[in-house]
Homo-oligomer: A and B are copies of this chain.
Amino acid sequence: MASAAIDELRKQGGGFVIERYTVPGIKDLAAGARILFDRGCDLVLALGMVGRQPVDKDCALAADFGLQAVQANVGRHILGVMVHEEEASDEVQLAHLFDRRTREHAVNAYDLLFRPDAMRARAGTGQREGFSDAGPLKVGDR
């Protein structure tokens, strides 16, 4: 997943340096993100996979909590790219999903830092990371 993120980021443009940091599991992402922020990083892409057991869902909740706490303390973005095992029916589909979602979040990361107008232009167009996009919702002028 990390290589897909790096590849996609490089496609978007330059002006950044990537620091990779690998942790054992999703519950370790918050500490890893905080460590990267303490080293001066401006944004963290947190990539992880969530299993299908109830205990895995509790792990994901704890991980999410930690990621929110770090962001609340530090005031910088952590874009969580979590893929749930049961989102795909086999490994091929899962690999596809991993790749697409990671790339879409990499674009989001780039836009947050370098192209806020592009981020705003996509807002409310109903894009779901990793599956086909739904059309934009009609809001406002009725």
Q: What's the least CB distance linking A118 to chain B, in Å?
A: 9
**Total count of chain A residues near the partner, CB < 8 A:** 65
Cα(A140)–Cα(B21), bound, Å: 19
Dominant SS among interface residues on chain A: helix
Oligomer: number of copies: 5
Known interface pairs A72-B66, A120-B22; A31-B78 also in contact (CB < 8 Å): yes
Chain B residues within 8 Å of A3, by CB? 140
Q: A24-B105, A27-B67, A69-B72 are in contact. List 13 more A-B contacts (CB 8 A).
A: A22-B122, A24-B79, A24-B119, A27-B80, A30-B72, A35-B75, A35-B77, A62-B64, A62-B67, A65-B68, A92-B138, A94-B137, A95-B138
